[in-house]
Structure formats: C-alpha cells, structure tokens
Structure 1
C-alpha cells in the first residue's frame, strides 16, 4: 500500500496549558486509541511518563494510578500538572502510521505542531523538553538547532509576537523516551527528568 492510501490521523487532544506554565513537555504522537488506558497524554498503561511523575513528585511510581491499577487518574494528573505548571503537547499534529503501530520509527510526519505559535500562548514558558529521539529531531528542525545529548539542552531564539521586541531565549532539553520499549529502568529515567525539573525550580 502506498503512503498516500494510508489514513492521515490528527492529534486527538488540545494542548494542556496550565496558568503560568514553566515547561512544555513534548512527545511525538499518541498510540492508537485501542492502546489507551485514559483519554489524555501518555495514555498507554505501560508508558513510564506518569510513573516518573509519580515517583518524583509524590514519592511513588504508582501514585497516579486509579484504584484498579489498570488506568490512570486523569483528575489527579491534571491537578498535578497544573500545580507544577507543566504544559503538555506533542510535536506532530498530523501523521500516518506506516506499520499500523505506535513506533516512532514507522511514523510519517504530515504536519508538525506550530511550535512558536504554541509557545506564544505561554509567555512564561522558556523551556521545551522532548520525550524521545524523534520528538527531539522534530523540535530541532523547527527551531534550527542541533539535537542535544540525552539529559542536556541547547538554546534557541523564539521570534517574539511583536517584531519590535527582542527574541526570547528558549531552552530545548532532550529527555529519555518514556516508552517501555526504551531499555532504561524507570528510576534511571526519572533521574534525567529530576535534573530538568530541579533546573526549572519545579522539583
């Protein structure tokens, strides 16, 4: 089947932008709905993102699970992200799945997110953190920067809404993938994220 015959999927969620957002965390694109355990970012039960947040902010990697331990508590997650001023969105707005799975390797980017437009909605946000290699590559392409090494960051200039103003400096961090397919223990991944959150004064 040629690529043009494959379904083009649109991102299912609006950006999550709490008041006073300090960092925008960006993955690539959500898995298929059949893999969701909830209708929100990082919905796959086996993804490590909410385990990392539970471990770092609440001292328990399972703290954001519902009582049935099969799904995540969206209300608790939204409340925590709002409290910590963490915004969420992905780097791809429209995509094709070339192999019908969630693998970034087989994801064709049709339309990336309008990153600078998104950041204009968060005037206090001067940091973007990508959760994986493909997301890091997309942000690098959008900002004209090099992909940083794992756990490190590079700087980019964000065009201001008003041309008379100076560009805003943006930190672009590359974090480990939170997919369980990435062979790193959740506790080790959490160490990388802890460095980011401490730098931003969130942790």
Structure 2
C-alpha cells in the first residue's frame, strides 16, 4: 500500500495559545474547503461556531454546502488557535479517514511546531488516534475525554486536552460535544 503525505501546511498564528491536533485529513473528494476539518460530515466548525456565537451554522456559507474558510481562518487568527495533525504520513488501510484504518508512518515534529508558536500552553487532541500518537511522542499519561494532563515537552510546560471526536461517526449532538470544548476554550481565553 502506498503512503500519503499530509496535504496541508500547519496553520500557526503567532498568537496561538492552543494547538488543535487531529489525526489526518480525509481524502480530498470529501473536502468542502482547503483547510482543516474540511468534511461537511465533521462537526468541528459547527462546535466552534456554536461556542463562539450560539449558532452551529455560523461557519457555513449560504446554502450550507461549504464551510467558509475565510471566516474560519480569521476567527482562529484572532482567537489564537493553531491547527495541524499528529500524522504527516499515513497509509489508509481502507478507503476512508477513519482512525481505525489509518496507519501512521511518520508523526508530526511536535517540537518544531511548538517552536513556531511560543505562547502556546495547551494542546488539544480531537480523537483517540491523535491522542495515542501524541502520547507516544511526549510520553504523557492519557487524559479522560474532556480532561487534561500536564506535559513537559520541548522545554515548556503544557496541558494536553483530550476532546471527543468531532466526526459524525461519533454519534453525539454538536451541543454535547461542544460542552467538552467549552472548558478548554474558556481556560485558554478562546471564548
């Protein structure tokens, strides 16, 4: 099987206080925009919209068939949210983006990412595969969903937060998932 390289550059605003790490993007055929969490079947931008404005549809373009990359990027820059994934090279064992069928070939260079966002003090993983990959890199304990653990990595003290998957394959309402994100966003001045 052929491996796949990450198709996006890290999104690292200089003021980033949190770094959100997923596992790996879906295939491009599923994208509604050229940015992180591009699949309309993923609730990440509905969760963020709900927390920031009370409206799950806030980051959708009129018609609801595409996310509004411009508004999402502006929000993340303004609020200090960096985005990337824990894997930069994977093999898809099946023709989908399910964490269960992603084999990580090469992990992210976490120290290099953190060096570019010196104000970052929290890392948020958005699923179990991302959490497991990050734990292998840092040697930290596994936090429960919605909780955090202390991590000393690359010369700084951080909190690793484990969030529920934003994928609709994880069948919970946006509002339920958002309550887990609310705490980490509030504690880090995002909302």
TM-score by length of 2: 0.98
1:155 aligns with 2:150: yes
- Counterpart for residue 41 of structure 2: 46
Q: Which structure 1 residue ranges, 4+ long, deviate > 4 Å from structure 2?
A: none
- 1:59-98 matches, cutoff 5 A: 59-98=54-93
Equivalent of 1:197 in 180, 185, 190? 185
Following superposition, the deviation at residue 17 of structure 1 comes to 0.9
Distance 1:186 1:194 in 2: 12
1:12 — aligned with what? 7
Uncovered stretches (5+) of structure 2, i.e. residues with no partner: none
Establish whether residue 170 from structure 1 lines up as the match of residue 158 from structure 2: yes
Find the counterpart in structure 2 of residue 162 from structure 1.
none
The two structures have a TM-score, normalised by structure 1, of: 0.92
What is the correspondence of 1:84-163 to structure 2 with a 5 Å cutoff? 84-159=79-154
Secondary structure (helix, strand or coil) at the match of 2:175 reads helix
Q: Of the two, which has the highest radius of gyration?
A: 1
Unpaired segments ≥5 residues, structure 1:
1-5, 160-166
Distance in structure 1 (CA, Å) of the matches to 2:30 and 2:131: 23
- Number of residue pairs aligned between Structure 1 and Structure 2: 191
1:143, 1:35 → 2: CA distance?
Answer: 31
